[in-house]
Amino acid sequence: MQADSSPFKIILGSSSIARRKILAEMGYEFTLMSADIDEKSIRKDKPEELVMALAEAKAGAISQKLPLGDYTKDAVEPTLLITADQVVVYEGAVREKPSSKEEAWEFIKGYSGRQAATVSSVLATNLKTGIRKGGWDRVEIFFHEIPDETIEKLIEEGNVLYVAGALIIEHPLILPLVKDVMGTTDSVMGLPKALTEKLIKEVL
C-alpha cells in the first residue's frame, strides 16, 4: 500500500539511516523522532527479550514527548509509531554498539571465517487506539576470512562504531566477504520488511 493512499500516518522512532531507507523502500512516507533512552540500563537474558524491551522503551520515551490528545481525536486519521532495535549474537553472547575502536576491531575480527546472528525487533503502536504489536526476526550470517586491512579501513571510516556488533553486511568492503545469509538483508540492516508490514496491518 502506497503512503499517499494510506489512511494513516507513520512516525519512525529511529535515528538509523538504514531503517529510514528501508521504510521509504516499502513505499511509506513518515516523520522522524528519536528516543533518548539509556539502552545500557535495560538488561534481559535473551537477545529476543532485550530487543523487544528496548523497542518498548523507545516507544514509551517518544510517546511522552508527543501531545497524545491530538492523536486520539475521533476525526483524525491514525498515526502509527514504529520503533525498533537490534543486537548481534556471537557465540551466544549479545553484542550491542561497540564502546571503542578496540572493541569494534575485536568484534569484526571474531566474525572472520565464522558466523554471527542479528536479532531485530519491531514494535508498532497505534497512537489513536493504543493498540501495540511487536515481534522479532533472527538472521544467521556466515563469513569468509576478513583481512586485517579491511577491518582497519572499516574502523578508520567509522560507521561500524555506531551499529550493533560493529556489523554492516551491506558495506562494500564486507559484502564480498559474506559467505551466506539465512534470512533477509533488510532484517540484518535493522528493519525486517515482512514483519513491519504485518505489524502495521495488525494495529490498524
Q: Bridge partners of 115?
A: 142
For residue 199, give every residue at least 6 positions away whose Cβ sits within 8 Å of its Cβ, in sequence order, or none.
Answer: 82, 122, 123, 124, 133, 134, 135
Give me the pLDDT at residue 167, please: 95
Does 85 participate in catalysis according to the annotation?
A: yes
| Averaged pLDDT in 10-residue chunks for the chain of 204 residues | 67 94 97 89 92 97 90 89 96 93 97 97 96 98 97 96 93 96 95 98 96
Supply the pTM of this predicted model.
0.91
CATH topology of domain 9-203: Maf protein (3.90.950)
Give the active site residue among 4, 85, 137, 186: 85
